[in-house]
Structure 1
Amino acid sequence: MNQTIIQYQQQIASYAGKLFRDHFGKGPESAVVSIGSKYITVYFRNFLTPSERVLLEQDHEMIVDQMRETLLQTMIPEFASYIEIVTGVKPQEFYYDWSLHNKSGMLIAICPEPIPGGQDVNQDYAGKAELEQEIVNISHQAQKVPEEIVSFEINPRTILIIRNGILVRIEKELIRLGHSELLKSVKRNLEKSYLHNNISFEGILKKRVVDAFVDWKFDSDSSVIVLVLNPAK
């Protein structure tokens, strides 16, 4: 990895921590940035505010989800502008998710072109075909088989999976009627139960799965899944 990309990662990680502190009143213990081709992931750990902790203790997880969704939507434009200042490329799409029980979260930025100086993603990682088939199986259980699925390693610790064409007709109708927020909450809980309880991933990848994240863009009928791995299984 060249020095420019390392510098980008450090600058973006530092700014992400500042954004969280500014918007939530508390920042994550760490933010790990990975850059591959036109993809940027920010994995933040040990992040839970005192007010969120109280709400979770009172079983108000949905309120925490709604608060985070609102705050992250306000953060994204600032974050996108900063990434453009640092790298010269402005992200086109953002996805995000969190794992409250792990106190962790993930931001994914997809740019219209590769980050200058960035390395290519690994599209031929070990276990690729088997992993994609397992994701197809999960998608089929939760909604329907994707019309398209693409996956790659950004680095040995981060696998990004992109699915297109996964919404069923009833979901599209709920979105049309203005129930996108409720639909996302239901889909997040359902799919993450499949992702977190999947016993096949580690056997396929020969690595321990530390975290799994998923998000959707309903207007483009697309979704991303990120698996965070520990290579030293």
Structure 2
Amino acid sequence: MENHKALSQLTSKMGKLLRDRFGKGPESIYVSANEVCVSMHFRQFVSVVEKIMLQQNKDEAVRDMRQLVMDLLVPEFKHLISDTLGLQLQHIYYDWNLDNHSGIMIGLVDSSLFDRYQESYRGKNYIHRQVEKISAEAEKMPDGMHSFWTNARTLVIVRSGILIKLEKELLRAGYEPALRVAKRALEKSLLLTEVDMTQAMDRTPDGLYLDWKFDQDQSIIVYTFPTE
């Protein structure tokens, strides 16, 4: 579904929306889509205030502020993507690499379509095995997992059914922010040390992003790669 005119319109409108809400938009947005997913890769996305906060090592404060704004914008994102691409998104995920001011946003359609959208690619079996192993170390073996490319630079891995009982109880008790911080640090560390993407794919990623929908017990992992 590479409708270049529609993707160009979406890129332009998304950039304006982010500028209006954050005061400064990304220098570039790389948008791509397939039957089950829309991906947006933001580069050089940081405001003057955020730069000051990051210089003071207030990374989590920046993340909290962005999450508040992005959550408020989700209905607008869904409406914009529906209007331009005709896709009805079920969930939107996002994460940031604050070190290089980049970010990713992933919109997923109904996950029941994943089984019909199967994609083979180099290293897939190895990557799935390693992600299952890491998931089992950090929480539990996923009940389900799918992966696919939204473009030649963006690999999306979707896991479902990974929360353990203790995590669910922490969420009920209102500890979602702390759980999110802990899981991001733990899982990113394990993914960086235990998944050799260069060996699996003969390509070295330049970005790794994670997000969760705790109420759905679903998570995404996104690897981005330099242009070949």
TM-score, with length taken from structure 1: 0.90
Cα drift, residue 121 of structure 1: 6.3
Measure the CA separation in 2 of the matches of 1:142 and 1:48: 31
Cα drift, residue 198 of structure 1: 4.8
Cα drift, residue 38 of structure 1: 2.1
Residue by residue, what CA displacement relative to the aligned partner does 1:194-226 show, whole Å, maximum 9, x if unpaired?
334456111101112011111111111111111
- Structure 1 segment 19-168 matched on structure 2, within 5 A: 19-112=17-110, 123-168=119-164
Cα drift, residue 231 of structure 1: 5.5
User: Secondary structure of the residue that 2:205 maps to in structure 1?
Assistant: strand
Percent sequence identity over matched residues? 37
Residue by residue, what CA displacement relative to the aligned partner does 1:28-52 show, whole Å, maximum 9, x if unpaired?
0100001111210000001111111
Match of 2:13 in 1: 15
User: Secondary structure of the residue that 2:120 maps to in structure 1?
Assistant: coil
- The residue type paired with residue 225 of structure 1 is I
Aligned residues: CA RMSD: 2.0
TM-score, with length taken from structure 2: 0.92
Query: Does the 8 A contact of 1:122 with 1:155 survive in 2?
Result: no
Out of 193, 202, 222, the residue aligned to residue 226 of structure 1 is 222
Structure 2: gaps (5+ residues): none
Structure 1: gaps (5+ residues): 114-119
- The residue type paired with residue 150 of structure 1 is H
Query: Does the 8 A contact of 1:164 with 1:221 survive in 2?
Result: yes
Measure the CA separation in 2 of the matches of 1:78 and 1:69: 15
Aligned residues: 225
Cα drift, residue 90 of structure 1: 2.3
Measure the CA separation in 2 of the matches of 1:111 and 1:199: 27
Match of 2:197 in 1: 201
